[in-house]
Structure 1
Amino acid sequence: MEQSAPPRRITIVDVAEHANVSTTTVSKVLRNAYGVSPAMQAKVRKSMSDLGYRPHAAARGLRGRTYTIGLMLPDIRNPFFPEIIDGANEVLDATDYQILLGPARNVREIEHRVTEAMIDRSMDGLILIVPAATPTELEQTARAVPVVVVARHLRSTLLDTVVTDDVAGAALVVDHLADLGHRRIAHIAHAESQRHLVTTMPNTIRAEGYRQAMRARGLGDEIDVVATTYSKEGGYLGARQLLARSRRPTAIFAGADIAAMGALEAIADAGLSVPGDISVVGYDNTDFAALGGIGLTSVEQGGRQMGSDAARLLLERIDDRAKPSRLISLSPTLVVRRSSAPPPR
Structure 2
Amino acid sequence: MADVAARVGVSRQLVSLVMSDRPGPSAKTRQRVLRAADEIGYCADRTARLLRRARSRQVGVLFTMEHPLDVHLVEAVYSAAAESDYGVVLSALLSTRGERESIDDLLGLRCEALILIGLSAAAPAHLATIAAQVPVVEIGQRTGVEGTDSVRTADADGARQAVDHLVGQGHRAIVHVDAGDLPGAPERRQGYTDAMRAHGLGAHVEVIGGDYSEEAGARAARGLLARDRPPTAVVASNDRCALGLVETLVRAGVRVPEDVSVVGYDDSRTARLSFLDLTSVRQDAVRMAGLAVACAAERLDEGRTTSRHVVLAPTLAVRGSTGPPRSAAD
TM range (shorter): 0.7 to 0.9
Counterpart residue number, 2:253? 271
Deviation at 1:85, TM superposition (A): 1.5
Counterpart residue number, 2:265? 283
- The counterpart of 1:7, out of the listed 12, 18, 32, is 12
- Paired residue type of 2:141: R
- The counterpart of 1:222, out of the listed 204, 213, 216, is 204
Change (3 A) 1:135 1:78: closer
- Structure 1 position 122 matched with structure 2 position 110: yes
- Structural RMSD (CA): 2.9
State the distance in 2 between where 1:165 and 1:237 align: 27
Which residues in structure 2 correspond to 1:107-186 (within 5 Å)? 107=95, 110-132=98-120, 133-134=122-123, 137-186=126-175
- Structure 1 position 210 matched with structure 2 position 192: yes
CA contact (8 A) 2:123 2:145 kept: no
Residue deviations 1:18-69, cap 9 Å, x none? Answer: 59xxxxxxxxxxxxxxxxxxxxxxxxxxxx9999796843343464422332
SS in 1 for 2:165: helix
CA contact (8 A) 2:57 2:85 kept: yes
Q: Which moved more, 1:177-186 or 1:131-140?
A: 131-140
- The counterpart of 1:99, out of the listed 81, 88, 98, is 88
- The counterpart of 1:66, out of the listed 46, 49, 56, is 56
Counterpart residue number, 1:40? none
SS in 2 for 1:144: coil
Residue deviations 1:128-172, cap 9 Å, x none? Answer: 013224275322221222211001134455121100000100000
Deviation at 1:333, TM superposition (A): 0.6
CA contact (8 A) 1:119 1:144 kept: no
Unaligned runs of 5+ in 1: 20-47
Change (3 A) 1:49 1:335: farther
- Paired residue type of 2:48: A
Counterpart residue number, 1:188? 177
Change (3 A) 1:56 1:6: farther
What is the aligned residue count? 305
Change (3 A) 1:209 1:92: same
State the distance in 1 between where 2:31 and 2:154 align: 44
Q: Which moved more, 1:271-280 or 1:91-100?
A: 91-100
- Paired residue type of 1:58: A
Deviation at 1:122, TM superposition (A): 1.6
CA contact (8 A) 2:211 2:237 kept: no
- The counterpart of 2:316, out of the listed 316, 319, 334, is 334
Unaligned runs of 5+ in 2: 35-42
SS in 1 for 2:126: helix
Change (3 A) 1:51 1:329: farther
CA contact (8 A) 1:10 1:54 kept: no
State the distance in 2 between where 1:171 and 1:233 align: 24
Deviation at 1:116, TM superposition (A): 1.5
- Paired residue type of 2:12: P
CA contact (8 A) 1:71 1:101 kept: yes
Residue deviations 1:86-128, cap 9 Å, x none? Answer: 22122122354332222213x5961221111111222121110
With normalisation by structure 1, the TM-score equals: 0.79
State the distance in 1 between where 2:174 and 2:287 align: 30
Counterpart residue number, 1:88? 77
State the distance in 2 between where 1:172 and 1:119 align: 40
State the distance in 1 between where 2:291 and 2:51 align: 25
- Paired residue type of 1:245: R
Counterpart residue number, 2:296? 314
Deviation at 1:6, TM superposition (A): 8.1
Change (3 A) 1:108 1:189: farther
- Paired residue type of 2:254: L
Q: What is the identity percentage for the equivalent residue pairs of Structure 1 and Structure 2?
A: 33
Change (3 A) 1:114 1:135: closer
- Paired residue type of 1:258: R
Q: Which moved more, 1:262-271 or 1:49-58?
A: 49-58
With normalisation by structure 2, the TM-score equals: 0.83
CA contact (8 A) 2:17 2:24 kept: no
